[in-house]
Amino acid sequence: MPKPKRIPPYPNSIGKSGSLTTIDGDYGFTIADKIVRPQTGMPEKLLCLQRIEFEDGKKELRLAYFIIGKKPKRRGKWVWGQYCTFIPPKDFKALVLEAQKRRWI
């Protein structure tokens, strides 16, 4: 019988700051809130919808994901997903419904 995978605690990014560099310059932001859920049938992938607040007051949403690392330095820890994610429609719908419930959209 295969050994069950250990899922680490979900990462907490609320309140963390970041910056975005575009052709028009740099923009600072803070992660104001987030909605997370494991992807259906793939508990080692955590889907995340973040509410971002920029320094100029603008608010946007960022769809992101984390995966459990497999390389030695990050093995067994949540790692930021650096590429566009594929997402099952029912998981996307759940994120959107929760965002509506929180009056983000």
Is residue 3 in some structural domain?
no
Question: 84 falls in which pLDDT band (50, 70, 90)?
Answer: very high
**Tokens in use for 68?**
């459990």
pLDDT one-digit tens code per residue, 6-50: 889 999 999 999 999 999 999 999 999 999 999 999 999 999 999
Residue 10 domain-assigned (yes or no): no
Bridge partners for 31 per DSSP: 52
- Total tally of structural domains belonging to the chain: 1
| Spatial distance between the Cα atoms of 74 and 15, rounded to a whole number of angstroms | 23
State the pTM of this model. Answer: 0.86
Range of the domain at 78: 17-101
In a domain, 29, yes or no: yes
Q: Does residue 63 lie in a domain region? A: yes
* Residue 96: inside a domain: yes
Is the pLDDT reported for residue 2 higher than 80?
A: no
Cα gap 63→2, rounded to integer Å: 32
* 45 assigned to some structural domain: yes
Q: Is residue 72 part of a domain?
A: yes
pLDDT at 1: 41
- Residue at 95 is within a domain: yes
Predicted confidence (pLDDT) at residue 4 exceeds the cutoff of 60: no
